[in-house]
Amino acid sequence: MIRNSLTFQFLKNPFSVGAVCPSSPELAKEITTFAGLENASAIAELGPGTGALTGAILEKKNPKASFFAVELNLSVLETFRKKFPSVTVYNESAANLKEIARREKVEALDAVISGLPWAAFPAPLQDELLSAISSSLADHGCFSTFTYIHCPLLPAGRRFREKLSRYFPRVEVSSMVWKNLPPAFVYRCRKK
C-alpha cells in the first residue's frame, strides 16, 4: 500500500508525480465549480492520481455525461481503480487525449480537469499536452487546472502560464486555496 501512496510515488519520481499529498476538498471544489460539469455531456480528467478531484467531479457531473480519466503512472493507477471501479481510466499519455475521446465515442469534450504537474514538465511536453487539450475541447469547452503557490516562481511555472494564454484566449486565476498542502490556485481557461 505504501508503494501506491502519493508520497512514495512523489519521492520515487517527482517529475511525473507533482504532489506529496492529495488535493484537499477545498481545492477540488474550486477546480470543479468553474467547469460547468452539471451541463457537460463529455468530461475528461487528466492525471487523477489517487482520485482527490474525481470524487468532486462525480458529485457535480450530469449523471448522463460521458466521463473518463487518463493516468500515466501505473502504480497510482492501481489505487485509483480500486477507489473508483466504475470510472474508465486509460493508462496513457494525456497527449493522446483526442484519440482516447474518439475511443469513448466523444467528438469534443465540454470540460477537461487536470491534476498534471505542469511546472515539472519541459516546454515541448507542455506544448504537446496543451495542444491536445485545446484541440479536444468543444468551442464552448473549459479547461481547469491548478498550480501550487510556489510554481509561478519557477521558470517552468512562468512558461506554463504564458503558454496558457497562447492556447486559450480567456484565462482566469482563482483566489488562493489556503486549505491545501501546499496552497494552490486554479487556472480557468476557455477557448472563447
* pLDDT by position in tens, the chain (length 192): 444 444 444 434 444 434 558 899 999 999 999 899 999 999 999 999 999 999 999 999 999 999 999 999 998 999 999 999 999 999 999 999 999 999 999 999 999 999 999 999 999 999 999 999 999 999 999 999 999 999 999 999 999 999 999 999 999 999 999 999 999 999 999 988
3-class SS of residue 143: strand
Helix/strand/coil for 184: strand
Residue pair 74/17 in contact (Cβ under 8 Å)? The answer is: no
Supply the pLDDT for residue 108.
98
Taking the C-alpha atoms of residue 26 and residue 36, their distance in angstroms, rounded to an integer, is 17
Q: What is the CATH number of the domain that holds 124?
A: 3.40.50.150
Q: What is the pLDDT of residue 34?
A: 83
pLDDT of 19: 55
155-167 helix and 123-136 helix, angle to the nearest 10 degrees: 30
Domain that holds residue 75: 2-190
Split into its structural domains, the chain has a count of: 1
Residue 174, CA distances (Å) to 30, 36, 144, 184, 187 in order: 8, 15, 10, 9, 7
Per-position b or e across 61-93, b if 16+ CB within 10 A of its CB: bbeebbbbbbbbbeebbebbeeebeebebbeee
Query: Using an 8 Å Cβ cutoff, are 47 and 20 in contact?
Result: no
pTM: predicted TM-score of the whole model, two decimal places: 0.89
